[in-house]
Structure 1
């Protein structure tokens, strides 16, 4: 069988989809599995053990060329992880016989096999919504914890496997232990690049604290830079560590502003690293601090102790999938609102203090050290 998977369009979502991809690999060990990915997320899938082929293309700007490539492979089935109408339209135009996806975005007629989407399963209710994107809290709805995006992608993959005749049982999901795990191998060539940087900067024997000030979705997801700088400096002093800023070229101004605020030694490596190299750096880091961003999920995937500051987005559904990660939040009644820009006073992020993040980091690192001592 020839199976095509359409990757999520964000780095973080792509990382959270890796357990589902690995399950499909187990369910169809003899299948040829290909992944379509935009260039921005291709680094997650480059060399990934769950796929045989990576097709890089953008269905927004080069749909015709992408359709021709996909048609040439004559896929028998396609799995759409994105929820968009555009992704379903692309696959429908390619003439793939079986097309699987969630029934969202008025696209069900483009799919042959659908999974029903129930918002109450996948979204935390908001007590006082300011956004149409929020799910209003209701006394008539059960107040159960919403399910995680890892489960969202796994549920679709499980449906695909059943419909295509596999009898391989899906993995048991355990949120507390973050099982099944994210799968993001550290590439040896990327690690060589990072080790060379570490050696050249003379930081081979000191801890590295990686920090990421940005978030692709919008300003509302960003913790204020001055607070991030205070927290990073104080933790660097405590750990005798250097700070590595991981922001990429598109966030150069944000990065430069943060660097000016920091007192500790700063290594501004973000613009120099691609995704596999960034993954390698995070695997070598003692601690990561970031917002709800793709880089935060990369850190979680490689087991780096991760502090994620959450504000307008859903801390239950898209928190880092790792037992070695902590979400720091001070959610007002309007959260989660899912807005790119805050229409109020940005309380969800401004209420989080450096002390909050420092305390979370200390607890996480102390717990990790205790686990190491037990194993020893």
Structure 2
């Protein structure tokens, strides 16, 4: 509670700063989203809404380094500030964050990452108008800081978080749609060609991992799935992931027959090069991770193995999306504002009970009539 007490002690200072910085027009906007790839993609509807409502304002996004390539090339974004979460530790870190925000002289700040450091930074910076979503459960600390934010909107259990963002922006008179967008690097086409990925939309993309290991399929299921895909579908199977996924991809390729149709693309693409790959695919298969939301951004038919995530709160929204959901007694245990990284039951049954037939059934349903 020390930061709450400090915030209240600073009330005269930051209230004065808000008055001195207030302008009649909104000329500079700060959007705060410091979560990972999937969350940033799901924040792009907010970016589009802000740009539509304030076409002449300067829009800056404060973000995690890993998401920079999603937004850096967007016409709607004027400036990007990458910041690591460990940079705001302690009082000195939070004060540096506040000074960084204050230096931008923003007229409006929209916060999609309702953590104590970011709320303190926005309040201490004296931004004239601050909007923030609030987590599903608001503890005493955040409840105290909430009183210092101009407009807030609390996420409701089981609600799509995009709906929470819509209600927040509506309080400022801003209409928001659901369309996502990301930057596209032209170099992605050259990477696809170098890997030999066909242009006939016959290839199936398969995400081989997840940042949250609680959600990943594992090499046994991946190998069995690739074997089945090679049997049932004539095109290539593209294994997609980062450089750290290379060993798993190599293991999967080594286990299957017909490996000449399997392309190991782990680590081959930069984030903003992946749209070129997605637009060559017939279908994408993944878990609840950034790659799945990236495929959905480009309306690729996809199958999402939901795992432990409450997919009522955040999910791909496309017409050609199908879900594989197993619901053991402990399901769901992962929520948009409460994300564990290990299985309390120690069996990951929401993943380990998924069968290849479950995924193939969803694939065929996703491709039906298309």
The answer, yes or no, to whether TM exceeds 0.5 is: yes
Gaps of 5+ in 1: 124-146, 163-167, 172-179, 369-376
- Counterpart of 1:137 in structure 2 is none
Equivalent of residue 287 in structure 1, options 280, 283, 289:
283
Q: Counterparts of 1:1-376 in structure 2 under 5 Å? A: 1-61=27-87, 63=93, 69-103=100-134, 104=138, 106-108=141-143, 109=145, 111-118=148-155, 121-123=156-158, 147-159=159-171, 161-162=172-173, 169-171=175-177, 180-187=178-185, 189-198=186-195, 201=196, 203-205=198-200, 207-217=202-212, 219-263=213-257, 264=259, 265-338=261-334, 339-344=340-345, 345-368=347-370
Q: Distance in 1 between the 2:61 and 2:87 partners? A: 18
Question: What's the CA shift for 1:169?
Answer: 4.1
1:283-316 superposed Cα distances (whole Å, 9 cap, x missing partner): 2211111111111110111111111101211121
Deviates more, 1:251-260 or 1:14-23: 251-260
Question: Where does residue 176 of structure 1 map in the other structure?
Answer: none
Please report how far the alpha carbon of residue 46 of structure 1 lies from its aligned counterpart in structure 2 after TM superposition: 1.6
Higher RCO (C-alpha 8 Å, min separation 6): 1
Compute the RMSD of aligned alpha carbons.
2.4
Deviation track 1:127-153 (CA, whole Å, cap 9, x = no partner) reads xxxxxxxxxxxxxxxxxxxx2122232
Instruction: State the distance in 1 between where 2:109 and 2:248 align.
Output: 39
Q: Gapped runs of 5+ residues in structure 2?
A: 1-26, 335-339
The alpha-carbon deviation at position 170 of structure 1 amounts to 4.1
Contact kept, 8 Å, 1:212 with 1:290, in 2: the verdict is yes
Q: How many residues matched? A: 325
TM-score, normalization by structure 2: 0.80
SS in 2 for 1:271: coil
SS in 2 for 1:287: strand
Provide the TM-score with structure 1 as the length reference. 0.79
Per-residue CA deviation, residues 30-51 of structure 1 (Å, 9 max, x unaligned), is: 2111111111111211212332
Q: Which has the larger radius of gyration?
A: 2
The SS at the match of 1:23 is helix
Q: 1:3 to 1:362 in 2, by over 3 A?
A: same
In 2, are the aligned partners of 1:211 and 1:289 still within 8 Å (CA)? yes
